[in-house]
Amino acid sequence: MTVDITALDRIVAVNLAIHIWSARKKLDPLDLGGAELPPEDLASLGSKKICDPEDLKVFGTLKARAVNLLDRIGIRFLSGWAIPEPRMDEVTEGLAAIRDEFNKEKDAFLNRYDSSIQDWIAKHPQWSSIITGSIVSESYVRSKMSFRWQVFKVAAPAHVKPVVDSLQDEVSNLGNTLFGEIAKVATETWHRCYAGKTEITRKALSPLKTIHDKLMGLTFVEPRVLPIAELLSTAFASIPKRGPIKDGTLVMLQGLVSLLRNAV
């Protein structure tokens, strides 16, 4: 179903720019004692880790949190996400909190950078030469780690038909993208919370409420969105306030999740 390009008036585009130092360097033949190797068109060397990957794991986790925040509220669009404008404050506050945590962990890592390298060398003493030969400065590592995002409005330029047509194609796909994302979350929710269950706790409602909130913020994307969101609202209202969820109520929820899994 075609989405009118005026939907752009109701969304804000957000692009994440998160950079994490890989702590990897290309493995050089000299690192292997000059051993004879196959030609590069046949095989290539991998990379060497010059720092314990566990020391950098937290940054990947924080990046995943930022992506999850945007996925929960918006739709993948262009190189980032389309966010309903009324929810931008929520997105900005969430990203700012994750950025602050990222920067705190970055400072903590850089403060122990030298000792982290030495610990890694001590863990692999027989390979110390290939590690020490690739060590980079703390200032270099700092320059490779950042957490930023850009926010912008997208508008079709007047009288440039090829550009307008291209943008219209992107906007037209918003509905399919939205329902594809909902179907993916619903499938994960089905396997994790509902499949084969005869009783669930209220915790199993959380992913459905996230889906509901996302749909309610994007009702303008496609006519099918609002009826599905209202169906979820009606289901939530019929669930007992306390106790386990089972019997007919559980069957109703399982049916809803199945419907969402096939929403594409």
Q: Is 152 exposed, middle or buried (0-12, 13-18, 19+ CB in 10 A)?
A: exposed
- Ordered alpha helix ranges (H), 112-239: 113-123, 128-132, 138-143, 161-172, 174-189, 206-217, 225-237
Task: State how far the Cα of 241 lies from the Cα of 202, in Å rounded to an integer.
Answer: 9
* Rounded (10°) angle between helices 57-73 and 88-111: 180
Q: What is the pLDDT of residue 31?
A: 58
pLDDT above 90 (res 110): yes
DSSP state letter for 50: S
Domain range annotation of the chain: 5-152, 173-261
Q: What is the pLDDT of residue 248?
A: 92
User: Whole-model pTM?
Assistant: 0.86
DSSP state letter for 221: S
For 194-245, write each residue's pLDDT tens digit: 999 999 999 999 999 999 999 999 999 888 899 999 999 999 999 988 889 9
For 121-142, write each residue's pLDDT tens digit: 999 888 888 888 888 999 999 9
Task: State how far the Cα of 181 lies from the Cα of 176, in Å rounded to an integer.
Answer: 9
pLDDT above 90 (res 163): no
Taking a C-beta distance cutoff of 8 angstroms, is the pair 75, 218 a contact? yes
Reported for 181-189, long-range contacts at CB under 8 A and 24+ positions apart, including other chains, are 181/71, 181/75, 181/76, 182/211, 182/214, 182/215, 182/260, 182/263, 183/260, 183/261, 183/262, 183/263, 183/264, 185/210, 185/211, 185/260, 186/211, 186/257, 186/260, 186/261, 186/263, 187/261, 189/257
| Residue entry with tokens 């752009």 | 8
How many Å is the Cα radius of gyration of the chain? Answer: 25
Mean pLDDT score across all residues of the chain? 88
Kindly list the distances between the CA atom of residue 245 and the CA atoms of 21, 134, 208, 211, 255, in Å, as whole numbers in the listed order: 46, 57, 14, 19, 14
Q: What is the pLDDT of residue 20?
A: 97
Task: State how far the Cα of 175 lies from the Cα of 178, in Å rounded to an integer.
Answer: 5
pLDDT above 80 (res 5): no
For 22-79, write each residue's pLDDT tens digit: 988 777 666 565 555 555 555 556 778 889 999 999 999 999 999 999 999 999 998 8
β partners of residue 149: 16
Q: For strand 24-26 and strand 146-152, is the pairing parallel, antiparallel, or unpaired?
A: unpaired
- Ordered alpha helix ranges (H), the chain: 57-73, 88-111, 113-123, 128-132, 138-143, 161-172, 174-189, 206-217, 225-237, 247-261
Percentage of the chain exceeding pLDDT 90 = 66
What three-state secondary structure class fits 30?
helix
Task: Give the max Cα distance, the chain.
Answer: 72
Higher-confidence residue: 33 or 151?
A: 151
